[in-house]
């Protein structure tokens, strides 16, 4: 049985309309790629939205859709990840989760996800071994533990970003690397997680000003 594999390869910048400011208009339609080819812009070059307090710009994912056999579905050997599709390295819509819940990675990365189960479901059963599956999973667990402590959540998010950035660029060189066939997925998920939490930190800073 075949399934869809959706891979985000970059983002397209979209301005909020004709009445936007000049920087917004100049960036409208620009594309930024995770792995840029010659002549393409890198994701690191993409401006951070919002550009100003009234900015309505957004970044729309550029996706590549392929069809794979069922061997690439159901979370691979992670049988606690049930169903879903893999996008940006992580699993979406697994275990009855919705789009708004976001993706998960292994046992500890993902909103309301811990120990390999959805924490909102009292009947959910995670794996017998809930220890982190790799170095990124361990970073996510420490982030969860930080949220449960007296430390401010903004500081927990900053620690997460610092720890993810401190890991070697090649997941195969992490102290506790992912399995060989998930190295690329791990890299994609970390890139997405860093982008998301950096934006979250920036938004909270704007609200606090």
The number of distinct structural domains making up the chain is 1
pTM over 0.75: no
Statement: residue 47 has pLDDT above 60: yes
pLDDT band of residue 75 (cuts 50, 70, 90) is: very low
Average pLDDT, the chain: 85
Give the domain range for residue 133.
Answer: 106-209
- pLDDT-wise least confident of 29-43, 107-121, 144-158, 165-179: 29-43
> What's 165's domain CATH number?
1.20.90
Q: Determine, yes or no, domain membership for 181.
A: yes
Q: Determine, yes or no, domain membership for 67.
A: no
- Which is more confident, 124 or 22? 124
Q: Determine, yes or no, domain membership for 203.
A: yes
Q: Determine, yes or no, domain membership for 168.
A: yes
Alpha-carbon span 138 to 144, nearest angstrom:
10
């Amino acid at each position: 049985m075949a399934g869809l594999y959706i891979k985000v390869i970059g983002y397209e910048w979209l301005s909020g309309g004709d009445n936007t400011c000049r920087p917004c208009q100049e960036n409208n339609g620009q594309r930024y790629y995770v792995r840029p080819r010659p002549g393409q812009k890198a994701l690191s070059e993409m401006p951070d939205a919002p550009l100003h307090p009234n900015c309505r710009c957004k970044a729309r994912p550029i996706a590549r859709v392929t069809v794979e056999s069922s061997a690439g579905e159901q979370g691979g050997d992670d049988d606690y990840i049930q169903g879903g599709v893999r996008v940006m390295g992580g699993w979406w819509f697994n275990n009855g989760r919705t789009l708004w819940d976001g993706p998960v990675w292994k046992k500890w990365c993902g909103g309301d996800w811990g120990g390999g189960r959805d924490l909102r479901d009292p009947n959910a059963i995670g794996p017998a071994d809930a220890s982190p599956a790799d170095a990124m999973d361990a970073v996510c667990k420490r982030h969860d533990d930080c949220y449960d402590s007296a430390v401010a959540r903004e500081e927990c998010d900053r620690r997460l970003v610092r720890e993810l950035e401190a890991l070697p660029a090649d997941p195969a060189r992490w102290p506790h690397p992912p399995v060989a066939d998930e190295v690329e997925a791990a890299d994609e998920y970390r890139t997405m997680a860093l982008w998301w939490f950096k934006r979250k930190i920036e938004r909270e800073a704007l609200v606090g000003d």
